[in-house]
Amino acid sequence: MNFEEIMPKLIDYGIQYGLVFLKAIAIFVIGRIAAGVITNILNRVMKRSGMDDMLRKFIRNITFAALMVFVVIATISSLGIQTASLVAILGAAGLAVGLALQGSLANFAAGVLMILFRPYKLGDLVEVAGTTGFVEEVDVLTTTLRMPDKTKIVIPNGQIMDAKIINYMDSPVRRLDLVAGISYGDDIDKAKSVLMEAISASEYVLDDPKPTVSVASLGDSSVNLAVRPWIKSADYAPASHEVTERIKKALDANGISIPFPQRDVHIYRHGDDN
């Protein structure tokens, strides 16, 4: 068999299998586009219905992943590969991979639980796994926090569900707990009146619930007053800074000192034993 006899067969095989591969590529590309379109339509419908952003994004990601699985199976089937045996092989391989990736499966299960119970939502200020930040995204396996300095932190969902979760914005209002120390020689009633007037003048402090100023403790060098105004949870950071500054200025303006730690040292002179 010479080259002239082989060449036509090679061309026939090339055309035959080339068309098959082109068909498979077309199925994958069109399927990928269709999956994206369906996911976007579903996302818009859920957004218009007022669904929670965290749940909406989670359903969107899961839907896209499921559609892509069907696209891949259809692509492989178009190549003439038996999908039944392939699914069996993938099932066995999935079991082995699942055993090797137990941590990832735990993160996935934790992500599902967070979506169901929703301990926080996008935009909330939370403390999870020892980290404090604003929730930016909740994915299948991880949660993304954005720090006040714009640092991005990605935490596995399993770590979040295994530890306590503190949501600072679950309630629309939050109490600001501050301590102002005054000298033992200052008038407590006057100091309380000055502090109440100062914090009540802040634009961040709410009238209801009413702010309070009370004696918290008697320290080594000062009488510690607990200053507790109520603010909107979203205003916590600027309110904390602004109210603290008001406290300092108000005490200075009224001649009320903020004492620093002091210690009395007593020196005893002993005569010569000789």
Co-location of 186 and 150 in the same domain: no
**CA 244, 246, 247, 252 torsion-angle sign:** positive
Kindly state whether residue 159 falls inside one of the protein's structural domains: yes
Kindly state whether residue 82 falls inside one of the protein's structural domains: yes
d(Cα 204, Cα 120) in Å, to the nearest integer?
A: 24
d(Cα 46, Cα 140) in Å, to the nearest integer?
A: 18
pLDDT digits 0-9 by tens, 151-179: 999 999 888 888 899 999 888 999 999 99
3-state secondary structure of 14: helix
Domain containing residue 141: CATH number = 2.30.30.60
User: Can you read off the two tokens belonging to residue 77?
Assistant: 């089937």
Kindly state whether residue 264 falls inside one of the protein's structural domains: no
**pLDDT tens-place values along the chain, 274 residues long:** 555 666 666 666 666 667 778 888 888 899 899 988 999 998 888 888 877 777 777 788 888 888 888 888 888 887 777 666 666 666 666 666 555 555 667 777 787 788 777 888 888 999 998 899 999 988 878 899 999 889 999 999 888 888 899 999 888 999 999 999 999 999 999 999 999 999 999 999 999 999 999 999 998 889 999 999 999 998 988 999 999 999 999 999 999 988 877 677 778 777 655 5
d(Cα 111, Cα 114) in Å, to the nearest integer?
A: 5
Phi-psi region of 203 (alpha: psi -120 to 50; beta: other; left: phi over 0): alpha
Tell me the angle at which helices 53-78 and 83-100 cross, rounded to the nearest 10 degrees. 130
pLDDT, residue 119, reads 87
Co-location of 153 and 219 in the same domain: no
Co-location of 150 and 65 in the same domain: no
pTM of the model: 0.59
Instruction: State which residues form the domain around 126.
Output: 120-167
